[in-house]
Amino acid sequence: MPLEYTEPDGKRIPLAVKRHRATDPAQRIGSLFINPGGPGVPATDTIESIDPSSDAGPYSPALLARFDIIGMDPRGVGDSGAVRCLTDEQRADVAAADLDPTVPGGKPLPALLADATTFTGGCLAHQSPEFLASLSTDNVARDMDQLRAALGEEQITYYGASYGTVVGPMYATLFPDRVRQMVIDAPVDTNLWQTDPLKLLDDVSRSNEQTLDAWFETCRTEGPQVCPFGNGDPEAAFDALITQLEAQPLQVPPVEGLTPGGTLDGAVALEAVRAGAGVQQLWPTLTAGLLAAQQGDGRLLHFLVSNVTVAPFGGPYAILQEPHTAVRCADWPTPTDIAAHTAAATEIAERDKRLASRAGYSALNCALWPAPNEDRFTGPLTGAGAPPILVVGGRVDNVSPYHWAEAMVETMDNGVLLTREGVGHTSYRRSGPCIDAAVDATLINGDLPADGTVCDVSPGTTKPPGTNGK
């Protein structure tokens, strides 16, 4: 692909693409492009995870039968020149950093600025500024259209989750006549993404806190016979445990297949809780992990940190941090005035009493970003001229709050809102037959549900697994 589409005959960059062929070629409709989010999650990994013999994969047997599933790693992601900004030693130092959960960003501001300077300087040491500036979502959409043409398709069908809900509307806005059908799941508020990243991150922090509150409420409602953590007052027990772990961290030995081991202090435990609370199916594991930590066993909470922790907009944080940051910085008009970041971090810390430290100063790398993108697309992502687009929003989503789905429908010329009750980030193939049937009908036949349709899901429980709740 062209490094810069303003210079189509200039330097070119390679992109990695994988395709899973339709399992019923006689009934094949065309190509279904997917983007699993991040930014930074390699779509080619998602393609590799497809197992047509299993009903538990990322896409239904009906979609696998009718479409070639196309995964393109966006520029700067996965095998498309994944951005690197730190050495292996520096990454290890970041992972081992002793963070203070009572301080926004986990460290004093001078230390955070020093880290950001090291990070951004490393990005320039490993990549050219021209490449870093080219990583914007509008270029990803243009790359997709080049791939569409290379595949010989007049139109594409598209499913995007999390950050993929920025890519999809961008494509539908730039190339509306080339969209056959589109579903966006756990949408980002594209207006905030393009204009106000600090407000966007504030929304994410608030949603994290509200999701943890939903776990507390369920634990309290179910009562000590089902959720014994805290004996009816889980908030007080939780706060006491975090204070205890910060004062006396637990050493967690490696457990093959479970955790690489390490230190479980208050900051690490909060990250584990943030991850576990955001996945309703993991609530029993979270309860068990908190109970075990009270008894001096940190293995389950460390498992959540090692295997479930996600960056904002999806994906394992340790793997995605560098490409994740680079794409955000190419897209976002991040304030360079550090005082604006301090004000935002202070407001979050005053409101979100338990999980705020993660969000504080989380856009600082972009404030110091050394490769400004001067020609990113800044128009509203309306998808004007494309077919109706299905927007799937979860009522409680720790990464994409529900009002972002409502904002997406308002921004789009022809968006249809489908709501999933319950807790979780993304809904398709995670929330039961109501959501799956609606998404499949949209992508296969263009049959969208009525705007405002609500899908119920089974209520979550905080009961620890393998116990009678006592």
Q: What is the pLDDT of residues 318-327, one digit of tens each?
A: 557 899 999 9
Q: How far apart are CA 263 and CA 384, in angstroms?
A: 51
Max Cα distance, the chain (Å): 69
Query: CB neighbours of 7 closer than 8 A, spacing ≥ 6?
Result: none
- The answer to whether the CB of 228 falls within 8 A of the CB of 291 is yes
pLDDT of res. 206: 96
Tell me the pLDDT band of 467, cut-offs 50, 70 and 90. Answer: low
Q: For residues 223 and 12, what is the distance between their CA atoms, to the nearest angstrom?
A: 61
What pLDDT was estimated at residue 319?
Answer: 52
Instruction: Give the mean pLDDT of 232-239.
Output: 98
Q: For the chain, what is the mean pLDDT?
A: 94
Q: Is the pLDDT of residue 235 over 50?
A: yes
Q: How confident is the model at residue 155 (pLDDT cuts 50, 70, 90)?
A: very high
Least confident of 1-15, 195-209, 242-256, 298-312: 298-312
Sign of the CA dihedral with 13 first, then 16, 21, and 27 last:
negative
Q: What mean pLDDT is predicted for residues 186-191?
A: 98
Distance of CA 158 to the CA centre of its chain: 18
Residue 317: CB atoms within 10 A of its CB come to: 17
Q: Report the C-alpha gap between 139 and 110 in whole angstroms.
A: 35
Cis peptide before 39 (omega within 30 of 0): yes
Using DSSP bridges, classify how beta strands 156-161 and 179-185 pair: parallel, antiparallel or unpaired: parallel
Sequence-separated (6 or more) residues with CB below 8 Å from residue 196: none
Strands, sheet with 415-423, edge to edge from the N-terminal-most edge strand: 17-20, 67-72, 30-35, 156-161, 179-185, 389-396, 415-423, 453-455
What per-residue confidence (pLDDT) applies to 470?
43
Instruction: Report the C-alpha gap between 348 and 186 in whole angstroms.
Output: 23
DSSP-H helix ranges across 58-154: 61-66, 88-95, 109-126, 129-133, 137-150
Of 309 and 236, the structure prediction assigns the larger pLDDT to: 236
Residue 156, beta-bridge partner list = 179
Beta strands 156-161 and 453-455 are unpaired
- Condensed to tens digits (0 to 9), the pLDDT of residues 389-441 reads 999 999 999 999 999 999 999 999 999 999 999 999 999 999 999 999 999 99
Are the CB atoms for 270 and 305 separated by under 8 Å? no
**Mean pLDDT value across residues 47-60:** 93
pLDDT at 316 over 50: no
Bridge partners (DSSP) of residue 441 are none
- Residue 442 in tokens: 């949209």
pLDDT over 80 at 453, yes or no: yes
What is residue 360's predicted lDDT score, i.e. its pLDDT? 87
Dihedral (CA of 209, 215, 220, 221) sign: positive
Q: How many CB atoms lie within 10 A of CB 456?
A: 12
Q: Answer yes or no: are the C-beta atoms of 42 and 320 closer than 8 Å.
A: no
Domains of the chain: 17-77+149-194+376-455 (3.40.50.1820), 84-126+204-332+335-368 (no CATH)
What tokens does 383 get? 């998808």
**Quick check: 314 pLDDT over 50?**
no
For 417, the 3-state DSSP assignment is: strand
- What is the pLDDT averaged over residues 83-109? 92
Where does the pLDDT of residue 55 fall: very low under 50, low under 70, confident under 90, or very high at 90 and above? confident
* Per-residue pLDDT at 468: 55
Q: Please give the pLDDT value at position 63.
A: 98
The pLDDT of residue 315: 40
- Residue 453 has φ and ψ, to the nearest 5°, of -60, 140
Q: What integer pLDDT is reported at residue 299 of this predicted model?
A: 94
What percent of the chain shows pLDDT beyond 90? 89
190 neighbors 169 (Cβ within 8 angstroms): yes
Dihedral sign from CA coordinates of 310, 38, 432, 412:
positive
- Alpha helix (H) residue ranges in 248-391: 266-277, 283-294, 299-307, 317-331, 338-351, 356-359, 364-367
The DSSP call for residue 39 is T
| pLDDT range class, residue 308, cuts 50, 70, 90 | confident
The percent of residues in the chain predicted with pLDDT above 70, rounded, is 97
And the tokens for 157? 């069908």
pLDDT computed for residue 232 by the predictor: 96
Q: Give the whole-angstrom CA distance, residue 227 versus residue 288.
A: 9
Structure confidence at residue 200 as a pLDDT band (50, 70, 90): very high
pLDDT band at 317 (very low <50, low <70, confident <90, very high): very low
